[in-house]
Chain A
């Protein structure tokens, strides 16, 4: 029966990406803080940055062009090269 229909779905199976290993500690790590420009996201990241710094991590702040669009590939590259860890302030 299935062969009789044309599916509106893209049936290709997308393999789930495995989660990256979690560090035991953030001390000595570089952490990228991603602000997607949602309302008050920057305030949230300020608090997170304070806590991370106190825990011995170095931080870098990056910002998406607009919250409602996927991040530019150049920004993703910047995040990937900025350290092993990232924190995203997702929604208000």
Chain B
């Protein structure tokens, strides 16, 4: 058997020293425990060492089959346990993971000079052989020896180049101060690094590695520009939009929706510039219609404006990260919003088209029902409207309409910009039963909310109020078209919501079709 004993202090035939390591479970990692099912393969590695990475990649996929045959494989890192777990997962290691920290007692006890080093420990707790560095042939021999002891045929790593590769110095064999400095550097948390870079909205993010961004792009050209993102006018290349989607936690199949939302907010008619820097709360509401809702798992049902659904939360967050990071509109920097609102973290709702008595938003805006469309609207935070007692559509419409009386400001009448109503299914059902069209409801609400100008002349008000006669009736909205109606929410409960507008911006509603990947 062509086993090498270099780097292990020539321990072949000696009892395997007990392991001073931390495992991932509650029970201590012991030689007896590892060899209880047969024998054990201890693979000493270090996160910084490319040869260790090679060994973990090549051996990792075999561990589960070995375990079924009685060989327990454990990767023993010379790194903190959290880093060890992440590294093992990243490299596809499917065996057990253990870790040791300075002064690396397990590596010292095994007399290591090099990582990786594989140590085979037999059923009797005796070291049966070792292989240092990457040596495919020697490892195959080691596994043959293990298989003979177990009466099984253990899979060897594939015969792929490189067949041999020198290892790296074990941290146990180098100056303790240098080893400690290396550990400190390697232990840096990549999530904390994202905060240090400023690539965050205040919550932890997913690091936008090249691999993740490529996967997010799904073959689209990362150099394609969607335009400049105000206020800093950073260029929204698709790669940067994809980086924001990765940071937000999107799955790649969400990306066409994120890209459509980005195209929509960058339309000058939306006036993202004004929304991004204003002292108003001004969030960017993303409404999604069409088949893509079901395809990617967007929630239009229970809790439609709240937490719980990755697609809604991460798509809205990706758009906001684009505004904050590529566009430079971080709160306290160029975003001067006095209070902001939670929708400025993420603000994405899917319409319950199937449960709605009316045509959905995107067909109102000229798209076909079968198209997937993103619509963006500058919006304030939702105000809930409880109504469990109305028994006629007129009463319910009155209650819904007057809830918006204080939208923007108590005496600011009329509003030119859109107020968005999210009508819950039970409320929608009442209008369905009564045969009310969307236009009828909108017109009723528009006509219902009016006040004499004299009652609106206190504090901040509008030139319209100032110029009107005292008894002139002023409507809350400049026209019925300023009332946007969506249907979403859980099937039980009579709570709708109104989202006040972003005003004074000349900001228009903008819709964009979601492009398919196959372009």
Contacts and interface: CB of A to CB of B under 8 A. Distances in A.
Given A4-B209, A68-B505, A9 B325 contact: yes
Contacts of A5: 207-210, 243
Given A5-B209, A7-B243, A8-B321, A69 B274 contact: yes
A21 B135 CA distance: 71
Contacts of B199: 7-9
A68 B242 CA distance: 28
B326 A70 contact: no
A68 B210 contact: no
Interface residues of A, number: 14
B247 A68 contact: no
A6 B208 CA distance: 6
Contact of A68 (B208, B326, B504): B504
Interface stretch (B146-154, B233-241, B379-387): B233-241
Contacts, number: 65
B283 to A, nearest CB: 16
A66 interface: yes
Contacts of A12: 235
Nearest to B279: A91
A2 B271 CA distance: 33
A6 B234 contact: no
Interface in A49-81: 66-70
A17 interface: no
B506 interface: yes
B511 to A, nearest CB: 20
A68 B243 contact: no
B377 to A, nearest CB: 16
B244 A66 contact: no
B243 A8 contact: yes
Contacts of A10: 232-235, 240, 326
A7 B507 CA distance: 29
Given A68-B273, A69-B271, A8 B209 contact: no
Contacts of B239: 6
Contacts of A4: 209-210
B274 A8 contact: no
A6 B506 contact: no
Contact of B273 (A6, A7, A69): A69
A24 to B, nearest CB: 34
Interface residues of B, number: 33
Interface in A12-31: 12
Residue of A5, A7, A9, A12 with highest tally of chain B CB at under 10 A: A5
Contacts of A8: 199, 208, 240, 243-244, 247, 321-322, 325-326
B274 A68 contact: yes
Residue of B193, B240, B244, B247 with highest tally of chain A CB at under 10 A: B240
A50 B60 CA distance: 81
B75 interface: no
A12 B237 CA distance: 13
A68 B240 contact: no
A85 to B, nearest CB: 25
B240 A6 contact: yes
A7 B205 CA distance: 13
B331 to A, nearest CB: 16
A6 B271 CA distance: 27
B506 A69 contact: yes
A6 B243 contact: yes
B139 interface: no
Nearest to B193: A1
A91 to B, nearest CB: 9
A68 B278 contact: yes
Contacts of A6: 208-210, 213, 222, 239-240, 242-243, 246
A32 to B, nearest CB: 22
Given A9-B326, A10-B234, 17 more contacts: A4-B209, A5-B207, A6-B213, A6-B222, A6-B240, A7-B199, A7-B240, A8-B208, A8-B243, A8-B247, A8-B325, A9-B234, A9-B325, A66-B506, A67-B504, A68-B504, A70-B273
29 contacts: A5-B207, A5-B243, A6-B209, A6-B213, A7-B199, A8-B208, A8-B240, A8-B243, A8-B321, A8-B326, A9-B199, A9-B234, A9-B240, A9-B326, A10-B234, A10-B326, A66-B274, A66-B505, A67-B504, A68-B271, A68-B273, A68-B504, A68-B505, A68-B507, A69-B268, A69-B271, A69-B273, A69-B505, A70-B273
The 9 tightest CB contacts between A and B, nearest first, are A68-B274, A10-B234, A8-B325, A6-B213, A6-B243, A8-B243, A68-B505, A6-B208, A8-B244
